[in-house]
Amino acid sequence: MTSLNHTWKPLSHLEIREKFIAFFRDKLGADAVHCAVPSASLIPANNPTVMLTPAGMLPFVPMFLGLEPAPTPPRLVSIQKCARVSGKASDLESVGRTRGHHTAFEMLGNFAFGDYFKSQMIPWAWQLITQEFGLPPERLYVSVFQSDDETFDIWTKTVGLPAERVIRCGEKDNFWGPPGATGPCGPCSEIYFDFGADYDTTQPHTNHDTSTHPVPINLDSPRYLEIWNLVFMELFQDSEGQRVPLAQKNVDTGMGLERIALVLQGAKNTFETDLFLPLIHALAAMTGTVYGQQDAISTALKIVVDHTRFLVWVLADGVLPSNDGRGYIARMILRRAVRFARQKLGVLDLFLADFAAVVVAHFAAVYPELEGMLPRIQSILSREETRFIETLERGIKQLDALMSELKATKTSDNQGISGDVAFMLYDTYGFPVEMTQDIAEEAGLRVDKAGFDEAMAAQKARARAARKSQTLVDNPVYADLLATLGATQFVGYDTLSQEATVLALIQDGELVEEVSGTNTSFEAVLDVTPFYGESGGQVGDRGVFSREVGHHGLTVVVKDTQKVGDLVVHQCLFDNGEVLRVGETLMAQVEPSARHRAAIHHTATHLVNAALRKVLHGHGLEITQAGSRVSPEGARFDFTCDRPVSPEQLGQVEWLVNSWIQEDPERQVHELSIEAARESGALMMATEKYGQVVRVVVYGPFSKELCGGTHLERLGHIGLVKIVTESAIAAGVRRLEFVAGELALKQVRQESAQLSRLATLLKISRWEAVSRVEKMLDEHKQHQREQEGLLTQLAQYQLAMLVGQYASGSGETPQCPKILVHQVLDLPADSASARLKSMAEQAENSLGKNFALFLATQVDDRVQFACAVSDSVVKVKGWKAGDVVKQAASLCGGGGGGKPTMALAGGRDVTQLEAAIEAVRQQWAL
Ligand code: SER
């Protein structure tokens, strides 16, 4: 193939970004201004059915569905970080091997919510790529959904493309969405770039409908590359696959930045654009390899570059490597990168942290925030890499041996690595199945993935059975309710009781029309509620639903409140009354004291977050919030930090928090755009829900945090915050637990009472207690040392006493050893076995070089044995101490053992003590 001859001006990735945003923001006239929004997190907010953001549209799903108000104006443009590395749409296998696939990529997109539609979008798209980007029209083709005549006509009549360049395709190619199990979707129209006849293939065309359109364009051929997808989102798909029209018509477009850069820069593949080529060269230099000479090395360079960028992004967004969900994906990608680097690029040492720094520096103009996060990202990478290479070599050896064996005995093509073996490699050596598949494929073998999935599912089922808990989101009933009922109106910031209508009742996971019967458990959804559903780390509210007596009187206890998306689900227990039906009204009342204590702890958590950052920043440490949990009973705050917080630092945090409380500023709540919130420096979690308008809670100059929880009106209402513990909960993640308000006072009282009790016991003042205990510990250690010395002497003495009376044999030679079999009396119960052992250990001193010693004793209802046999006797006569005690103990219904020269054992049948001693005597021919 010749390199691509292009006539347009190459654009750098920075220029492409700028032109795309400027086109939608500035160039379409006053009526079509698009607001530019930054990339949301790769972790979707409130979308449990999606692992990592797969498309630019994902953050806006609630707006497409009309569940959240559209922004004003209802048009957005963004460059969104995306990942396609899990599930059916995974591109993992293609990375580095095709022209344009990545685990993570950036998507240029514009979005309209019930605003413009096909007739504007299509001409704009054409204008952007042919005029702004300068691509020649004769190199472009488009596809449309087969029955979408309107789109076909716009392309041919309005834009003026010849009909043979507009190809009708079926649902597989030209229908997009939903991005998760359910959601918005619609027909789409894709724009393809033609690389020219040099890239043609002889395969028959497969994906266009020849009955409606006879032109033989094969869009699956490498000659054509999809560069932009225009989706006309007008349908909603439910969990059964049924589609219904949405209330509004929406536009969602997506153009892969890497691919458009490839085309505009005339590169051979996306890795040879300015997005990646400097990284490829840097990695080649680091590893002493060359790009572009050997396929295996070039592919490995591409894979490692791609994977490292993926890791930098997901770790920055708060994913931590683990064995589940997103954490698994991060761990799998990391291990895959390490394996390629070590096996194909000859890397011997840790390299990911260093290379991550190169990646972050390369993208500094686009993602400047990554620089501050780099130390944390590097420490996670190094820890994970170290952990993996400990088992990698052993696992590879085992897998290699297995594969040679398989190949040697290969009888049919079906043979490959079984699911159980793949699972063993995962379980024992930490090999993600994707990596086992890579290695097996290189050796021409297959992996039984279905068998692996079964083994994995079986393990998960075991773990689940052990946990026995199920979350609401596991049940599609709630997602369907959210889709049909929409978000529940939450009024709980302003009131704790509210009249409401029952919209849905759920019992045993199924929708029901009514519930009744004391102690019946069920869930209820209302049209409006003052109950706070668990989110943002704050637990759900408790309280009651009630109705006046005389009017179908009723009491329902609300034990907990959860959220599924923005649907608030009350977990209830029917208490009193006849029946509760869908459509009825009731009074929903939150338990005020529990809510108040939750608010105290939530407010305290904001202060701890701010103070901890401040104190640790002063020590050169930057932390990221990893989670929090706030309840009426206490609070905890999890954060990433690779070392413990010292007691002095904890003291400073506590001091700072309590001094802010004394200042007593009033709460201010601002509704801001996400950009304004970010600019104002408000703290936010990478995984926090992304919306156009966010709630920022501010307390004076001390704390400013993006949060939907419930908080106190004034800081002074907290009273006091007391830190209870600081600990590690996972590698690199620490947890602070603390209490606030009355509970803090109670904690202080309890700690103080403990100290008083100690002082009373020691008969000294509380202030002397610590130094006294330290002194006592020193003395105790000294006593222990003395006691050990005395015990040794005593053992020696006891043995010396025995030797004269019972020793048999001269001990001159190993053939004729000194033998001593003896029952020792009156040993103290708590140290009997230690004494016996120490006597046996002294045997050589008292009995000389050639000896055999068996000691037995009874303490309470147990018997204990010790045996020592000198080396020489073990060799010559074959008497082994371990065997001797085992035999004696088994006679007494017990067991034990040890080395041939020294062993201990015990049993519970004291009646057999004599018999056991006799058996040893006989064995040693006494
Ligand atoms: N959602 C569509 C895609 O991902 C267009 O943005 O291709």
82 lines ligand 1 (CB under 6 A): no
> Residue 465: is its pLDDT beyond 90?
no
CA distance 721 to 739: 6
Which of the two residues, 715 and 687, has the higher pLDDT score?
715
Q: How far is CA 731 from CA 311, 622, 727, in A?
A: 17, 16, 11
pLDDT in tens, 780-789: 999 988 988 8
Q: Among the atoms of ligand 1, which is closest to the Cα of residue 177?
A: 1
CA of 66 to the centre of ligand 1 (A): 19
252 lines ligand 1 (CB under 6 A): yes
Q: Among the atoms of ligand 1, which is closest to the Cα of residue 230?
A: 5
Q: Residue 715: what pLDDT?
A: 94
The helix (H) or strand (E) run that includes residue 638 is: strand 634-640
Please return the burial class of 19, using the count of CB atoms within 10 Å of its CB with bins 0-12, 13-18 and 19+. middle
CA of 131 to the centre of ligand 1 (A): 22
- Kindly state the tokens that stand for 99: 């022209």
Q: Among the atoms of ligand 1, which is closest to the Cα of residue 56?
A: 6
pLDDT in tens, 424-449: 899 888 899 999 999 998 888 899 99
Three-class DSSP category at 193: strand
Mean pLDDT, the chain, integer: 88
403 lines ligand 1 (CB under 6 A): no
253 lines ligand 1 (CB under 6 A): yes
Q: What share of the chain is helix, strand, coil (3-state, %, to 5)?
A: 45, 25, 30
Nearest by Cα to 417 from 455, 447, 449: 447
Give residue 496's identity as a one-letter amino acid code. L
Runs of H (alpha helix) within 96-147: 118-127
CA of 269 to the centre of ligand 1 (A): 21
Give residue 23's identity as a one-letter amino acid code. F
> Residue 314: is its pLDDT beyond 90?
yes
Of the listed ranges 583-592, 754-763, 840-849, the one predicted with least confidence? 840-849
Give residue 712's identity as a one-letter amino acid code. L
642 lines ligand 1 (CB under 6 A): no
DSSP state of 473: G
The residue whose CA has the least distance to atom 4 of ligand 1 is 55
Which of the two residues, 711 and 788, has the higher pLDDT score?
711
57 lines ligand 1 (CB under 6 A): yes
Nearest by Cα to 580 from 535, 531, 490, 520: 520
Q: Residue 468: what pLDDT?
A: 36
pLDDT in tens, 377-407: 998 899 899 989 988 888 898 899 888 888 7
229 lines ligand 1 (CB under 6 A): yes
CA distance 109 to 125: 11
191 lines ligand 1 (CB under 6 A): no
> Residue 143: is its pLDDT beyond 90?
yes
Peptide bond into 73 cis (omega under 30): yes
pLDDT band with cut points at 50, 70 and 90 for residue 467: very low
Nearest by Cα to 418 from 430, 250, 405: 405
Radius of gyration for the chain, computed over Cα atoms and rounded to the nearest angstrom? 36
CA of 253 to the centre of ligand 1 (A): 6
> Residue 1: is its pLDDT beyond 50?
no
* Percent of all residues in the chain with a pLDDT value above 70, rounded to a whole number: 93
The residue whose CA has the least distance to atom 3 of ligand 1 is 254
> Residue 742: is its pLDDT beyond 80?
yes
Nearest by Cα to 24 from 11, 42, 37: 37
CA distance 537 to 330: 23
pLDDT band with cut points at 50, 70 and 90 for residue 207: very low
Other Cβ atoms less than 10 A from the Cβ of 486: the count is 18
- Kindly state the tokens that stand for 109: 């997109």
Runs of H (alpha helix) within 418-565: 419-429, 433-442, 449-467, 476-485
Q: Residue 203: what pLDDT?
A: 47
> Residue 169: is its pLDDT beyond 60?
yes
pLDDT band with cut points at 50, 70 and 90 for residue 470: very low
The helix (H) or strand (E) run that includes residue 317 is: none
Q: Residue 214: what pLDDT?
A: 41
534 lines ligand 1 (CB under 6 A): no
> What does the pLDDT average to over 101-124?
97
178 lines ligand 1 (CB under 6 A): no
CA distance 828 to 514: 71
Three-class HEC string of 320-375 = CCCCCHHHHHHHHHHHHHHHHHHHHCCCCCCCHHHHHHHHHHHCCCCCCHHHHHHH
Is there a contact between 786 and 796 (Cβ–Cβ < 8 Å)? no
254 lines ligand 1 (CB under 6 A): yes
> What does the pLDDT average to over 497-516?
90
Name the pTM for this structure.
0.56
Which of the two residues, 417 and 799, has the higher pLDDT score?
417
DSSP state of 154: I
CA of 256 to the centre of ligand 1 (A): 9
The residue whose CA has the least distance to atom 2 of ligand 1 is 254
> What does the pLDDT average to over 338-347?
94
DSSP state of 535: B
CA of 251 to the centre of ligand 1 (A): 10
Q: Taking every pair of C-alpha atoms in the chain, what is the biggest distance, in angstroms? A: 119
- The region that residue 207 occupies, defined by phi over 0 for left and psi between -120 and 50 for alpha, beta otherwise, is alpha
Other Cβ atoms less than 10 A from the Cβ of 170: the count is 13
pLDDT band with cut points at 50, 70 and 90 for residue 896: confident
Is there a contact between 275 and 66 (Cβ–Cβ < 8 Å)? no
> Residue 551: is its pLDDT beyond 80?
no
Of the listed ranges 116-130, 475-489, 579-593, the one predicted with least confidence? 475-489
pLDDT band with cut points at 50, 70 and 90 for residue 458: confident
The residue whose CA has the least distance to atom 1 of ligand 1 is 55
> Residue 74: is its pLDDT beyond 70?
yes
Q: What is the DSSP string of 172-186?
A: HHHEE--SSSSEEEE
Hey, what's the torsion of the CAs at 660, 662, 666, 669, to 10 degrees? 30
